[in-house]
Amino acid sequence: MDTSTENTQATGGQDGPDPGQEPRQSEWRKRPSSADTWPTVVLLPALLLLRFFGEQGWAYWTGAVIGVLGTAGAAVEGTAAVRHLLNGRRPWVAVWVLLVLVSASLVLVLRLADHW
């Protein structure tokens, strides 16, 4: 057995994962980013429906259904942002995510209550 075969077997092969790389990649995925505000993409059409067509029944109920999905997503991402804030990982980004998600959800709830 030559030395290149021994090195390949010892490291798990050329295609195998490097154990030193895994923690950094998983830590990078755990960091908050502005992409965590994705529920606003769902909340925005609901808010626009309620703003421009809220007097019509179909728009009110469609906006409510879409808004519930967006609010559920905001709850999931908001929980993750609070966890990032408590762990001290990029606190300003976590605060920004919380501010955007809470304000969009609050505006949706207020619009729905106003037309009720």
Could you tell me if 49 and 59 are in contact, meaning their C-beta atoms sit under 8 angstroms apart?
Answer: yes
- Give percent of the chain above pLDDT 90: 34
Average pLDDT of the residues in 20-32: 55
Average pLDDT of the residues in 56-72: 92
Q: Is the pLDDT of residue 110 over 80?
A: yes
Q: Is the pLDDT of residue 37 over 90?
A: no
Could you tell me if 47 and 70 are in contact, meaning their C-beta atoms sit under 8 angstroms apart?
Answer: no
Residue 92: DSSP 8-state: H
| DSSP-based three-state secondary structure for 13 | coil
- Residue bearing the bigger pLDDT, 103 or 9: 103
